[in-house]
Structure 1
Amino acid sequence: MTRLTSEDFDPEVLKLFDGYVHGRLSRRDFLSRAGRYAVGGASAATLLAQLSPSFAAPVVAPSDARLTTRYQEFPSPQGYGKLRGYLAMPASAKGKLPAILVVHENRGLNPHIEDIARRLALDGFIAFAPDALFPLGGYPGDEDKARELFPKLDQAKTRADFVAAAQLLKTLPQANGKVGVVGFCYGGGIANYLATQLPDLGAAVAFYGMQPAAAEVAHIHAPLQLHDAGKDERILAGWPAYEAALKANHVDYQHFVYADAQHGFNNDTTPRFDEAAAKLAWSRTVAFFKDKLGS
């Protein structure tokens, strides 16, 4: 079966899907508006199903013997009180390793993000991926249900949980005290946010994430690597102000735009995945972490 790509969908359908994913459109609104672009006997519901994630083929299997993985809880006094996430590390590491906080999209800790954590562990890092939905019962195993839960979070407490997670990674017995963060979409915004909150953060990588307010950029001390999609008008609209603030505050940053890619291009579970852009962005990400954090 041929894998669908973003080229198989009308650009307007992709815009509608982006609105649905990010809560600007309800499911009913998406189905109503997308129906006019359905062709060849397909329906709007078919389009939605085709664009939605499929977790059937992870890059790194959960049972990979090269890794040690587990779910672990940590205290978060300023957040919801307790956070839970997926911890992955090399099974036969020699010496202590740098740790990377992995921040999911606006769906919670789904199988794709767990796969991202395992990929980082294979590259020689400790990776911890918290589930922001844990206070509401955790990722429900269904993307639509996760979408409905996410707006119910108290974002002040959720952000405090991510701050706590980054700080706790410095204290893991297997860690060397150096911590980085990588985030995607919502998580990219959190990666940007954490860079403004943690003076000792070792490195931050944001994939198509919302930018912090210009006034907050003065608090960034970590080197940044930022990945954006050329066809992501919503995120790119905030770039000029962010870039100006980064330059004004002499922040060490790299910014890459993948010209033909869509928002979400690194997520290989959906048709918006762009293999070439994702491969290049990921190689840059791993090299950046190894340079800034060691391995």
Structure 2
Amino acid sequence: MTNTQISPNSQFPIVDSHCHLDFPDFDGQLDDVIARAAEAGVTRMVSICTRLRNLPQVQAIAETHDPVFFAAGTHPMSVAEEPMTSVDELVSLSKHPKFVGIGETGLDYHYTAESAEAQKESLRIHIDAAREAKLPLIIHARAADDDMAQILREGYANGAYDCVMHCFSSSAELGRAALDLGFYLSMSGIATFPKSQELRDIFATAPVDRILVETDSPYLAPKPHRGKRNEPAYSAHTAQVGADIFKLSYADFAAQTTANFDRLFAKAAQWVPT
């Protein structure tokens, strides 16, 4: 079991807006992981399905644990290996009461540039589904800033939709393009790394009412847990850095990012346990 240092700010609720609780790293440990999250003040989390074939496992986690919601899509790095989804399929899946976002989708030319055209097609399908389902689009972007900005703008010109740039670590230009469309930037553990000052400077120029916090766990553990398996409880460490970036108290930053999450993920905010 991972030994989690509980945040001294755990009385202030925050949200882990992006994690992967179905990954093998958490096998047999979910009860403990979710309990540690609650102790750290993380009252809700969104577990992301990156391959639609894995949706039953992700959905079951959300159905079993009240604090967990889920989203689904085809990750850009998996597009070449997965059947191309459709708008109708994604919209149909979105009817589940705890299904709160479309994706993650996007473009990744760093690892999978050879599937760029299929990634673009998949991204456009997810944009149309997000618009039709009236749920936020969850974007993964790596080494594809120009194409990403162009497709997001083109999609918006065809009709408004909501969106978050998950684990944002791209250029200031892509960040500004997203913010200009009314989108959100999500802060991960990368923002806590010593060499990420340029990224922290980009976040500092964004409106604080467009910022979310996430872990992307089990990846990208923030300081002081860097190099270890990440988990939702560690959102508190990233949130502390976020508070410092925006010169806010932890309490105020936690309240602001929670309000931001509730505005963007309105379906999660409205959900009531049965």
TM-score interval w.r.t. the shorter chain? 0.3 to 0.5
Q: Pick 1 or 2: higher relative contact order, CA cutoff 8 A, min separation 6.
A: 2
Hey, which of these two has a bigger chunk of helix by percent?
A: 2
TM-score for both structures, normalised by structure 2 = 0.43
